[in-house]
């Protein structure tokens, strides 16, 4: 499946490498402090998504579970299509609103919850 706005994004939001290493949904339900596998952020707002689990859905999308830090911090589900289709408009130019953090070192989820 082609990511929306892929032509204007400099890197893929979800690589095959990340997809292979991210724990499957519900596999860490009993983990005291699951590891963040991938971080997404919007350079145009204060929103950040910390995914701890995820898997491909029947319709070809990828569903994540993790911490969403936006209006509030809360655990929940979000999808690759939702992240990839979000855009920000500068006049007549529309750009992707969400990027994958290529430079952060990822740690346990508790590091991001406080």
Taking the domains of the chain in order of start, what are their residue ranges? 6-113
Q: What's the pLDDT at 9? A: 63
Query: Residue 24: is its pLDDT beyond 70?
Result: yes
Q: Pick the residue with more confidence: 92 or 26?
A: 26
State percent of the chain over pLDDT 90.
74
Q: What is the pLDDT of residues 2-22, one digit of tens each?
A: 555 444 666 799 999 999 999
In this structure, which long-range contacts are made by residues 20-27, counting pairs with CB atoms below 8 Å and at least 24 apart in sequence?
22/51, 22/53, 22/54, 22/55, 22/64, 23/52, 23/53, 23/54, 24/53, 24/54, 24/55, 25/53, 25/54, 25/55, 25/63, 25/65, 26/53, 27/53
Is the pTM above the cut of 0.85? Answer: yes
């Amino acid at each position: 499946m082609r990511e929306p706005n892929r032509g204007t994004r400099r890197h893929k939001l979800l690589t095959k490498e990340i997809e292979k290493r991210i724990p499957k949904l519900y596999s860490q339900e009993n983990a005291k402090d699951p590891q963040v596998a991938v971080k997404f952020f919007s350079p145009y707002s204060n929103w950040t998504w910390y995914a701890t689990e995820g898997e491909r859905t029947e319709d070809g999308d990828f569903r994540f579970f993790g911490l969403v830090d936006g209006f509030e911090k809360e655990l929940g589900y979000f999808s690759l299509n939702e992240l990839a289709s979000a855009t920000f408009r500068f006049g007549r130019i529309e750009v992707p609103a969400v990027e994958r953090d290529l430079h952060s070192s990822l740690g346990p989820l508790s590091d991001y919850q406080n």
